[in-house]
Amino acid sequence: MIRPVRYEGGVVHLLDQRRLPAEERWQACRSVEEVARAIETMVVRGAPAIGIAAAFGVALAAAGAARGRGGGALEPGGTPGEGAGLEEVVETALRRLAATRPTAVNLHWALARMEGRYRQMRSAGAGPDQVAAALEAEARAIQEEDLAMCLRMAEHGAALLPEGAQVLTHCNTGALATGGHGTALGVIRTAWRQGRLRHVWVDETRPVLQGARLTAWELQKEGIPHTLIVDGAAAAVMAAGRVDAVLVGADRIAANGDTANKIGTRMLAVLARHHGIPFYVVAPWSTVDPSLPSGDGIPIEERNPEEVTGFGGVRWAPAGTPVFNPAFDVTPASLITAIVTDRGILRPPYIEAIAARARRDEPGRGEAARWGRSPGC
Ligand SMILES: CSC[C@@H](O)[C@@H](O)C(=O)COP(=O)(O)O
């Protein structure tokens, strides 16, 4: 199984997704700053995967502090230097990692969980070595639980698809984006293994091409029949009656079900409604942010204009062309047929379905909101 994040000997290893599919190269991150930059530059990407990478970044920081090396967060610009205390090292790591990407709440959820474990160990009087061991165990638990959630979502979601389904998906929501298996792509994987899936339409997903580079790579490895299309071809394949369902992931789901996901998702939802095609969002509960009443409050990351004016060192737009490059958009809840979570399938009205589950299950969400307040949000 593809797993994009590994933690070994106090080093975070990330499968460099910028280089796929041309080469499978791992990047070793030995400091919090290196993990943070890897998240910012999309060496690792996908909402659950960046949460997992950040959790290991905190574990790395604590391990460094326990060894008396300032947690490896030794860069200039406000991070602690040699010999910094454990408290300062962990706080700094949490702050730096929270500031990497604003939209995916899984990142802030994972950091809140790491902070919670840290505080628990400190109030129990644990020393630096014990704290470091506990934080490593917590990060590993986040990773393993994410895989388990993906497998549960996949079972729930596959049951929604008709026999011989043709589906359309956007971005990469596979093993590369999660603890393994995937969210929307996990449903596709499981449906294929169950024999109920015929074919996948893969949106190339401009500008960074997660569909063309990553989803096509994962599907090819599994031998799942698929066809790559440019984003603008989605309406044509829907109109031709060749899509039975649209399956997408999510970076943040507000309390009313409004869902932020990769730019272009909203367009697909509008198209699906027009063509009478079910539109399913697949996401673990860690993607739900009940502290936001609606999608209006979701911070949308804007990325470098160079992602739009060219790719891989080739520029095609004239120099100086003005660019708007939002990395995500928000799909209104009214366009979503169902939200598939590891805790079951949510149906409209989402505001009630989400509130009921949040009340029952989520004592830690106030803290997630705190780390969610990163610069740029
Ligand atoms: C399981 S991944 C869900 C989302 O994170 C995914 O659809 C997405 O939008 C990823 O965006 P990215 O910018 O590649 O991190």
Atom 7 of ligand 1, residue of closest alpha carbon: 249
Q: What are the beta bridge partners of residue 28? A: 13
Ligand 1 atom at minimum distance from 101 CA: 15
205/191 Cα distance (integer angstroms) = 23
With a 6 A CB cut-off, is 251 part of the ligand 1 pocket?
yes
Provide the pLDDT for residue 364.
54
Q: What pLDDT sits at residue 78?
A: 43
pLDDT of residue 373: 41
Check the annotation: does 261 bind a ligand.
yes
Is residue 262 a known part of a binding site? Answer: yes
What is the reported pLDDT for 357? Answer: 85
Q: How far is the CA of 129 from the centre of ligand 1 (A)?
A: 35
Ligand 1, closest atom to CA 170? Answer: 7
The verdict on the CB of residue 104 being under 6 Å from ligand 1 is: yes
Q: Are the beta carbons of 58 and 136 closer than 8 angstroms?
A: no
User: How far apart are alpha carbons 275 and 242 in whole angstroms?
Assistant: 11
Bridge-based pairing state of the strands 26-29 and 11-15:
antiparallel
Determine the Cα–Cα distance for residues 218 and 206; give it in Å rounded to an integer: 18
Give the domain ranges of the chain. 5-149, 151-363
367 has pLDDT over 70: no
Mean pLDDT of 284-289: 96
The pLDDT value given to residue 271: 98
CA-closest residue to ligand 1 atom 9: 262
Q: Please report which helix (H) or strand (E) contains residue 236, including its range.
A: helix 234-239
Q: What is the ipTM of this complex?
A: 0.99
Q: What is the pLDDT of residue 363?
A: 53
Asked if the model's pLDDT at residue 218 lies above 80, the reply is yes
Residue 48 Cβ inside 6 Å of ligand 1? The answer reads: yes
373/218: higher pLDDT? 218
Contact indicator for 327, 303 with CB cutoff of 8 Å: yes
Q: Is 46 known to sit in a ligand binding site? A: yes
Instruction: Render pLDDT for 143-189 as a digit per residue (tens, 0 to 9).
Output: 999 999 999 999 999 999 999 999 999 999 999 999 999 999 999 99
Position 221: which residue type?
K
Is 325 among the annotated ligand-binding positions?
no
| Cβ 107 vs Cβ 260: under 8 Å | no
CB 132 within 8 A of CB 227: no
Retrieve residue 104's tokens: 């995916």
116 to 3, 29, 136, 221, 226: CA distances (angstroms)? 25, 24, 13, 38, 42
CA triple 79-81-84, angle to 5 deg: 100
Structure tokens given for 319: 């120099």
Q: Which of 103, 169, 261 to mutate to test the pocket of ligand 1 (most atoms within 8 A of CB)?
A: 261
Query: Considering the domain 151-363 in this protein, what is its CATH number?
Result: 3.40.50.10470
Q: State in Å: Cα 121 to ligand 1 middle.
A: 32
Ligand 1 nearest-atom number relative to CA 174: 1
- Residues designated as active site: 251
For position 312, what pLDDT does the model report?
87
Q: What distance in Å separates the CA atoms of residue 300 and residue 334, rounded to the nearest whole number?
A: 20
Render pLDDT for 240-264 as a digit per residue (tens, 0 to 9).
999 999 999 999 999 999 999 999 9
**DSSP secondary-structure letter at 166?**
E
CATH number attached to the domain at 5-149: 1.20.120.420
